[in-house]
């Protein structure tokens, strides 16, 4: 088992079961190298990242890596599939609310309206066959809510492919991916308690899949006497406060990551319907008043 801090801006825990110490160390090395490689592509806050450089273009076809092309394409597909609940351009609203929190001034409807109009329609066009992507929006975007899961998947898979490796469990900032032959128990943190020894909200078995968790209980914006969630609805530009914890179980961490974001802003009934329509998706939603919503797949995984 290995622990690292400052990976993708958070902590990393890697568990590897291998036939030898050298096999485990080799898996660890390739996993960390893969994380570094992909972060150089997707980190929107690094001036030299591929995503950051691509964001400096507009209305022109640009050659991009297969990884960036694939994730841009997936991001647009998920934006459509979730009816806009997942939208990488929500970053524009995050910056608006953060700026107002610094100045301690309320966000007005007149400031939100033009951003909402700019979020209508596709954000980009991608030709994965030719390796080209055309950025259609001038708004800032972040792929954090899909790239983190993608990076976790890639690092877990490359570690699991190493010789003599039988099990891999990768946890980055509470989002997990498992590959192996035996289910592993996973505790879901209670969003209403910050104590490390607090009883978990739930426990499930993770087997060759991913888990992602989202919630509004740790970060937000203080404006005047009121605290606002950092979880913003791209369809309204305003904070969502009904849910404090969202956990998604999926076949991979990328899907779990996207849906944890979308389910944070959708009504619980719509989240459960979408999860069931996709198949093999488990969801646990915890409301501010403590009400819990879960679907059958989640319950079967407990």
DSSP 143-184: -HHHHHHHHHHHHHHHHHTSTTEEEEEEEETTEEEEESSS-E
The closest of 141, 128, 144, 148 to 252, measured between CA atoms, is 148
Q: Which residues of the chain have pLDDT under 70?
A: 194-197, 216-218
Give the domain extent around 257: 2-300
Instruction: Specify the DSSP element, H or E, that contains 78.
Output: helix 66-81
Q: Which residues lie below 8 Å from residue 265, measured CB to CB, with a gap of 6+? A: 85, 231, 232, 233, 234, 235, 240
CATH number for position 164: 3.10.520.10
- Tell me what pLDDT residue 243 has: 92
Q: Are 211 and 253 in contact (CB under 8 A)?
A: yes
> What's residue 190's pLDDT?
86
Q: How many domains does the chain have?
A: 1
pLDDT of res. 198: 74
What is the C-alpha to C-alpha distance for residues 53 and 44, in angstroms, rounded to an integer? 9
Number of H helices, E strands in the chain: 9, 17
Indicate the helix (H) or strand (E) that contains 249.
Answer: strand 243-250
Burial label, 6 (beta-carbon count in 10 A; 0-12, 13-18, 19+): exposed
CA distance 62 to 137: 14
Distance between CA atoms of 260 and 146, rounded to whole angstroms?
Answer: 10
Tell me what pLDDT residue 28 has. 96
According to DSSP, residue 55 is labeled T
241-262 pLDDT, tens digit per residue, is 889 999 999 999 999 999 999 9
Phi, psi of 147, deg, nearest 5: -70, -35
Predicted confidence (pLDDT) per residue in 275-290, tens digit:
999 999 999 999 988 8
């Amino acid at each position: 088992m290995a622990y690292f801090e400052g990976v993708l801006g958070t902590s990393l825990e890697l568990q590897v079961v291998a036939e030898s110490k050298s096999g485990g160390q080799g898996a660890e090395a390739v996993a960390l190298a893969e994380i570094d490689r992909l972060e150089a592509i997707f980190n929107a806050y690094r001036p030299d990242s591929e995503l950051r450089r691509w964001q400096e273009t507009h209305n022109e076809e640009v050659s991009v890596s297969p990884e960036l092309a694939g994730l841009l394409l997936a991001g647009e597909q998920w934006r459509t599939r979730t009816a806009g609940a997942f939208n990488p351009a929500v970053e524009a609203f995050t910056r608006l609310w953060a700026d107002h929190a610094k100045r301690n001034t309320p966000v007005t409807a007149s400031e939100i309206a033009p951003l909402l109009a700019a979020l209508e329609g596709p954000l980009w066009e991608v030709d994965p066959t030719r390796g080209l992507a055309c950025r259609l929006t001038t708004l800032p975007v972040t792929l954090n809510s899909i790239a983190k899961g993608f990076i976790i998947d890639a690092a877990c898979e490359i570690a699991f492919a190493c010789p003599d490796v039988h099990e891999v469990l990768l946890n980055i900032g509470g989002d997990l991916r498992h590959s192996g032959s035996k289910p592993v128990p996973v505790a879901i943190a209670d969003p209403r308690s910050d104590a490390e020894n607090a009883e978990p909200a739930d426990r499930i078995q993770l087997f060759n899949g991913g888990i992602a968790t989202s919630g509004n209980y740790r970060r937000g914006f203080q404006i005047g006497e009121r605290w606002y969630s950092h979880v913003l609805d791209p369809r309204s530009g305003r904070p969502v406060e009904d849910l404090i914890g969202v956990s998604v179980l999926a076949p991979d961490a990328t899907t779990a990551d996207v849906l944890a974001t979308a389910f944070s802003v959708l009504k619980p009934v719509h989240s459960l319907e979408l999860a069931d329509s996709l198949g093999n998706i488990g969801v646990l939603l915890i409301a501010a008043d403590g009400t819990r919503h879960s679907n059958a797949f989640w319950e079967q995984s407990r």
